[in-house]
Amino acid sequence: MEFSQRLDLFGDEVFAALNARRRELEAAGRKVFDLSVGTPDFEPPAHVVEALRASAADPANWRYSLHDTDELLAAVCSYYRDRYGVDGITPDMVMSCRGTQEGLVHVCAALVNPGDVALVPDPCYPVFQNATLLAGGRPAYYRLTAEHGFLPHLADVPAEVADAARYIIVSLPANPVGSVGTPEVYEEVIAFAREHDLVVIHDNAYSDIVFDGPAGGSFLSHPGALEVGVEFLSLSKSFNVTGARLSFLVGRPDVVAAARKLRSQIDFGMFYPEQAAAVAALTGPRDSVERQRLLYQERRDALCDGLEAIGWERPNAHGSMFVWARIPGGRQDSSAFALELMERSGVIVTPGASFGPSGEGYVRMALVMPPEQLHEAVDAIAAAGM
């Protein structure tokens, strides 16, 4: 049978090859360090787990929820005020979604018509490109390169491309490149969006994993942001609840309303116990989040210091749970390098090319192990002569 051409938009050959070989190595008893997947190894806070458990014990909470509860919407609004200093978020500016990945697919579908252009970073978290493709849009890439600190440099985007585009996706701290936003960058993005009449979609998955300074903020805190943009607030990484799929689209009300209209054809609302867990996370103590940020920083230091000590260039790693490492020796073939690295050292990394053409020459490593194990991983890389 023939399936839709939509399925041809996505390739997963490299991951399939890495996974198949990884299983063989493990079956043969080889020690493997998996730094390829960004799943946190930390636990969710006890008060969040308890809120979900208590809510799930009530049979009334197993019905269709249909809507976000008033309590949940109020919790997001107060979180924006207290955590990010953003006043003026009202319940109509908030919609829950089953993770940022799902929300992005739907907000992009609410913004583009087939053939429309959308600006997407290269390299990027793959759903930024794929959500655009699924909506029938045509991604146009703006590059994140070492030359500009792996930050958006919008002066490079041709004016006709910017004028044609419906939205620009920005995400800082950035997966995979590990750069962190500055007020100047956000001001530039907002001015660019105004000039070219674009919606800004900011993905803020890592605002709680920023190194060498205070915790990160929100795009929506910058003057003018609420007129041009929306932001995804994900609880996944801050609270280690990746499996619960707790994320929110927040910001410009007409964009949120459009996404809500589309999603309401597909989804019957977030499970009440998940809503309760989200309220607990958003309104509860934040000490575990801050502790965790410092633990990620120790991991970042262990991995970057270690790689530098064995002759790698110091990776870019200012925020997110990833470090972005240039392959030593000027090699460009990141997929072949990742396979060879796994074969010879047992260390599994993600090839930079899987995040876009500008990722070639780099690999991404996830900070998903304590420093001692990261030291061992670096020793294994050194022992393999890589």
Enumerate binding residues for ligand PLP (CB under 6 A): 38, 99-101, 125, 171, 175, 203, 205, 234, 236, 242, 247
Of residues 130 and 175, the one with the C-beta less far from ligand PLP: 175
In angstroms, rounded to a whole number, what is the distance separating the alpha carbons of residues 94 and 114? Answer: 27
**Minimum CB–partner distance for residue 135 and ligand PLP (Å):** 17
- Residue nearest ligand PLP by beta-carbon distance: 99
**Minimum CB–partner distance for residue 210 and ligand PLP (Å):** 14
**Minimum CB–partner distance for residue 271 and ligand PLP (Å):** 15
What is the strand order of the sheet 199-203 is part of? 94-97, 247-251, 229-234, 199-203, 165-170, 117-122, 138-143
Closest CA to 277 of 72, 41, 59, 62: 72
Strand duo 362-366 + 322-326: pairing: antiparallel
Most distant CA pair in the chain: distance in Å? 61
Of residues 289 and 380, the one with the C-beta less far from ligand PLP: 289
Half-sphere exposure of 189 (CA within 13 A, CB side): 32
Of residues 79 and 346, the one with the C-beta less far from ligand PLP: 79
Of residues 33 and 206, the one with the C-beta less far from ligand PLP: 206
**Minimum CB–partner distance for residue 20 and ligand PLP (Å):** 22
**Minimum CB–partner distance for residue 311 and ligand PLP (Å):** 29
In angstroms, rounded to a whole number, what is the distance separating the alpha carbons of residues 90 and 364? Answer: 38
Of residues 127 and 303, the one with the C-beta less far from ligand PLP: 127
**Minimum CB–partner distance for residue 77 and ligand PLP (Å):** 19
In angstroms, rounded to a whole number, what is the distance separating the alpha carbons of residues 327 and 361? Answer: 6
Of residues 236 and 334, the one with the C-beta less far from ligand PLP: 236
Of residues 347 and 368, the one with the C-beta less far from ligand PLP: 368
**Minimum CB–partner distance for residue 171 and ligand PLP (Å):** 5
Q: Is 110 helix (H, G, I), strand (E, B) or coil?
A: helix
Q: How far lies 152's CA from each of 121, 182, 186, 309, in Å?
A: 8, 11, 9, 30
In angstroms, rounded to a whole number, what is the distance separating the alpha carbons of residues 85 and 91? Answer: 17
In angstroms, rounded to a whole number, what is the distance separating the alpha carbons of residues 323 and 176? Answer: 7
DSSP lists the bridge partners of residue 316 as 324
**Minimum CB–partner distance for residue 104 and ligand PLP (Å):** 8
**Minimum CB–partner distance for residue 205 and ligand PLP (Å):** 4
Of residues 176 and 306, the one with the C-beta less far from ligand PLP: 176
Q: Which residues contact 280 (CB under 8 A, 6 or more apart)?
A: 45, 47, 48, 50, 51, 52
174 backbone dihedrals φ, ψ, rounded to 5°: -100, 130
What is the CA 219 to chain-centroid distance, rounded?
Answer: 14
Of residues 166 and 237, the one with the C-beta less far from ligand PLP: 237
